[in-house]
Structure 1
């Protein structure tokens, strides 16, 4: 399903062959699901607060091969998310490889962007960066849980590449989307992912999350996505 974007007049619902729904939405619904007003703030309060652990030992490979087909639909995760998030999608060589689509608007910048395969205009962003996850609990997980996080649609979104590159591994205390109308959804997505996977937050991060979310008390907590363990074939990695 297409992500709900704050400030949008109409929510466009696109059915796609991807496990789980775009952060901010739930299966079988055109809007966010979870608790009602205040539920996302309650979820923030439920998160464990600890200091950021050292980055020692982190590498992208600790979260498995990039864009693994964990939902077994024969398409890699990157193309699944492009199909979900872009409009007017075109394919090359079947119905997996997205060759063209429109990101209207990009949630992080608010700009309209045209995606063409092989170009660098669009990134698939981990809403909770993998390095941030590593420093807040994922270091201690088994490989299958890290692979699941890296490929969970709840934690993934197609965004403007240039805007995303400024995010790095920042959490809510150090980076928020320049598009201010999207910040409530963005932070709610981070809360949902951290709650689902049992990741902790720093005190500064929790304060930043609550500061954003108190401005949108009706924001709901997203649910859905993939299981928190990758399928058996990935577990030995």
Structure 2
């Protein structure tokens, strides 16, 4: 049995682990340098207990214009816009998948990636959200970094792994970790220790560019 002293020290360590290294501004919108964004992320152990992808309802048609969230992202991110017919059927068009620097013609072969995957969001705090909050997260069109049109190959390579386990093409790693940290702060999601260490190490080698954060409503 652990001694009372050891239990007390362990409890203190857990409190320190859960606290962010730097407080984030209280404002709903703010801009801070990349390394401060990373340092501000709350740290906590992950917990995937009870995870079910169906707990995050998607793809919805929030504005009832006939286009699902998937179609809205494809339309927004097209390099050359697709033709839209009927109930938002897309054809033609051209996209750039920045994860792997690949251009694709036509929407087939593209996945819409949750930059911070649904399972990762669950692990990092979304398990305590309401169904409505999880639906809002899964269909987040309020921040263009949240959902990304990428090749099916790169999306499936990434799967539900975090930055400690998967990164895109080296040329865009700094872009990726800035977006990752921004979405985590937007939704008040934590990072685990390995994720925090990887983000910190990568950010140290990236330009300390300003990152704009808009908190989710």
- The interval holding the TM-score normalised by the smaller chain is 0.7 to 0.9
Does the aligned pair in 2 maintain the 1:189–1:222 contact within 8 Å? no
Q: Which has the higher strand share?
A: 2
CA distance in 2, matches of 1:97, 1:70: 17
Distance, in Å, in 2 between the alignment partners of 1:91 and 1:224 is 32
Q: Answer whether contact 1:89 1:98 (CA < 8 A) is retained.
A: no
| CA deviation string 1:134-175 (max 9, x = no partner) | 111000011111111111133100001111101111111011
CA RMSD of aligned residues (A): 2.1
Corresponding position of 1:48: 42
* Separation in structure 2 between the aligned mates of residue 208 and residue 78 of structure 1, nearest angstrom: 30
Tell me: CA distance 1:73–1:223, structure 2 relative to 1, closer, same or farther (3 Å). Answer: farther
1:186 Cα shift? Answer: 1.0
1:127 aligns with 2:115: yes
Query: C-alpha separation between the residues in 1 aligned to 2:214 and 2:87?
Result: 24
**In the alignment, does 2:72 pair up with 1:84?**
no
TM-score by length of 2: 0.78
> How many corresponding residue pairs?
186
Structure with greater proportional helix content = 2
In the alignment, what sits opposite 1:35? 31
Tell me how far apart the structure 2 counterparts of residues 110 and 34 of structure 1 sit (CA, whole Å): 30
Instruction: Kindly state the Cα deviation for residue 215 of structure 1 after the two structures are TM-superposed.
Output: 2.0
- Determine the C-alpha separation between the residues in 2 that align with 1:71 and 1:41: 36
Larger Rg: 2
The correspondence for 1:101, drawn from 90, 93, 102, is: 93
Classify the secondary structure of the residue corresponding to 1:212.
Answer: helix
Conserved? CA contact 1:91–1:100, under 8 Å: yes
String of CA shifts for 1:81-115, please: whole Å, max 9, x gaps: 001111222224258332222123x2111122222
Contact 1:79/1:96, CA 8 A, preserved across alignment: yes
Matches within 5 A, 1:6-17: none
- Provide closer, same or farther for how the CA distance between residues 208 and 123 of structure 1 changes in structure 2, counting only shifts above 3 A: same
Match of 1:62 among 51, 55, 61: 55
Matched position secondary structure for 1:206: helix
Secondary structure at the aligned position of 1:35 is classed as: strand
Check conservation: 2:44, 2:193, Cα contact below 8 A.
yes
1:164 alignment counterpart: 155
For the residue of structure 1 that corresponds to 2:106, the secondary structure is strand
In the other structure, the counterpart of 1:18 is none
2:210 pairs with 1:216: no
- Cα distance in 1 for residues equivalent to 2:69 and 2:209: 27
Would you say the 8 A contact 1:184–1:219 is kept in 2? no
For structure 2, the residue ranges without an aligned partner over 5 or more in a row are 1-28
Q: CA deviation at 1:184?
A: 1.0
Are 2:78 and 2:95, in contact at CA under 8 Å, matched by a contact in 1? yes
